[in-house]
Amino acid sequence: MKIKIKTMKEIADYFFALYIKQRDNFTCVICGSKAKPQCGHLFSRQYINTRYDESNAFCQCATCNILHKYNQYPYFKFFLEKFSKNKLDNLYKSAIIKLKWDINFYLGKALYYYNKCDKINNDRFLFFERRLNKYDKQIKNGGYERIPKKVSVKKQNKREDKKGNLVCRKGNKKASKY
C-alpha cells in the first residue's frame, strides 16, 4: 500500500491539534469559552515551517478561530501579551521561509505529538492511532513507495478493473493494452 504525504499530514495535524487543545485545557485563549475548541494558528497552516510550532498555535473556540481570519488584532494582542514582539518577528521570519517536507517529516511530527498528548478513548482518536501505527511499521519496514505526481498520457485514461482488464476511465469500453 502506498502512503500519501497528504495522509501523513492529516495524521500529524490531528495529533498536533489534540496536543494544543489539551495543553490549553480546551479553553479559548481569546474569550475563555470551552465551546467547540479548535487549534488556531497565529500564522496560517499554509506556512509549513510554523505549522507545527507550539508558539504559533493555541486553543480557540470555533467562533474566535473563524473571526481571526477577518480580524487578527485580538490574537496578535494575546500573543504580544504572552510573548515579546521579538518572538513575533522571529515567528514571522520563520513562517515565510518556503520549505517542502517529505513523508518522514510528517511521520516524525505525528509520532512526537502522539506521544506528547494524553490518550483518549474515542473513535476518532483510535482511528488516527491505528493509521499512525500502520504507516509507522510500513515505513520502518521499507515499504514506503514514493507516489509519482505525473502520469503518462498513454496510461492517464486507462485503469485496471478487479479482474486485471484495462478499462477506459470514460465509459465502460475495454482499452487496448497499447
Residue 128 in any domain: the answer is yes
Task: Name the pTM for this structure.
Answer: 0.73
Residue 15 in any domain: the answer is yes
Residue 16 grid coordinates? 498536533
Q: Is the pLDDT higher at 124 or at 27?
A: 27
The count of domains in the chain is 2
Shared domain for 134 and 167, answered yes or no, is no
Q: Which domain holds residue 101?
A: 5-140
Residue 121 in any domain: the answer is yes
Q: Tens digits of per-residue pLDDT, 96-141?
A: 888 888 888 888 888 889 888 888 878 888 888 888 888 877 777 6
Q: Is the pLDDT higher at 178 or at 161?
A: 161
Please state the rounded mean pLDDT for residues 139-149: 55
Shared domain for 82 and 169, answered yes or no, is no
Residue 145 in any domain: the answer is no
Please state the rounded mean pLDDT for residues 48-58: 90
Give pLDDT, residue 37. 93
Shared domain for 132 and 154, answered yes or no, is no
Shared domain for 83 and 163, answered yes or no, is no
Residue 15 grid coordinates? 495529533
Shared domain for 26 and 103, answered yes or no, is yes
Give pLDDT, residue 163. 61
Shared domain for 169 and 113, answered yes or no, is no
CB-hemisphere CA count at 13 Å for 12?
A: 23
Burial 1-40 (b: 16+ CB within 10 A, else e): eebebeebbebbbbbbbbbbbeebebbbbbeebeeebbbb
- What percent of the chain has a predicted confidence (pLDDT) above 70? 78
Find, among 85, 40, 94, the residue nearest to 67 by Cα.
40
Shared domain for 89 and 12, answered yes or no, is yes
Shared domain for 69 and 156, answered yes or no, is no
What is the chain written as a DSSP string? ----HHHHHHHHHHHHHHHHHHHTTT--TTT---SSEEEEESS-TTSGGGTT-TTTEEEEEHHHHHHHHH--HHHHHHHHHHS-HHHHHHHHHHHTS-----HHHHHHHHHHHHHHSPP--SHHHHHHHHHHHHHHHHHHTT---PPPS---HHHHTEEE-TTS-EEESSSSPBPP--
Shared domain for 49 and 84, answered yes or no, is yes
